[in-house]
Amino acid sequence: MTLIPKSHPRAKSLLIREKLVNGFDKGLVAKEGLLAQGRGEAFDYLLGEKTNKAAKLAIKAAAAQLLQAKRPVISINGNVAALCPKEIVRLSKQVKAKLEVNLFYTNEKRKQAIIKILKKNGAKEILGTNPSDSTRLPGIDSARRIVDKNGIFAADVVVVPLEDGDRTMALRNAGKTVITFDLNPLSRTSQTADITIVDNITRAIELLISESKKISKRNGKGREKIISNFDNKKNLTENVIQIRNNLTRRARVA
């Protein structure tokens, strides 16, 4: 990887790019995943490249929802495996969620590369790997319709980081609660999910792990109150307002 000086004003962003490129070289990330990352980075810039108040509220609600779930599953794609494999495994252990590899641009070689990196970072069981356990999620035509009958298909709560909107809609229609990370508050995924964390996953994942540890000490009623008090539509609106305010401040400076 390229040596990036810590003093560089875009050091964190450049490091994320390096991780994605490295992930592509290792066979984790599809070419299309690099383009998707660029789109997200543009929104991160508009959001001020920091975790705002609205994102923190969504993270708290997500932690409570995961801890209340009976069968939580975290869906893993190539970008997630390249950016934060260690943190995703830590989160799965913290909230007792299963991990399932699910890809839009799927091939066996890439799937095996993702499985390898997850296991390297401490994952024990990874679903979505055994064809005999595969079934189809209704209402979707892409390769992501193929899910594990013991994982996403049976889940009550599904975390879908860096997701595509059609599968989010299919999961909701299947009666599942969907939590997502999406830097674009106007995307189909953001608008369709039950809880949308509008933040860069490389920042938010650590906060979600930390919040899950705190909320795990609360009882079920306390967690349910956090969930019921969260309004995803209102939260998304707050993020749009944040973008507008940031643009207004920049325009004044210019």
- pTM equals 0.91
Mean pLDDT of 116-124: 95
pLDDT at 221 over 70: yes
Mean pLDDT of 148-158: 95
What's the pLDDT score for residue 4? 66
CA distances from 185 to 13, 89, 191, 193, 243 (A): 20, 26, 7, 11, 10
pLDDT at 11 over 80: no
Alpha-carbon dihedral sign for residues 66, 173, 230, 13 = positive
Which residue ranges make up the annotated binding site for ATP? 17, 39, 182-184, 188-189, 200-201
What's the pLDDT score for residue 13? 75
What's the pLDDT score for residue 174? 93
Domain ranges for the chain: 53-244
pLDDT band of residue 237 (cuts 50, 70, 90) is: very high
Which residue ranges make up the annotated binding site? 17, 39, 182-184, 188-189, 200-201
Q: Which CATH number is 53-244's, of 3.30.9.10, 3.40.50.150, 3.20.20.10, 3.40.50.12640?
A: 3.40.50.12640
Mean pLDDT of 230-253: 90
Mean pLDDT of 186-212: 96
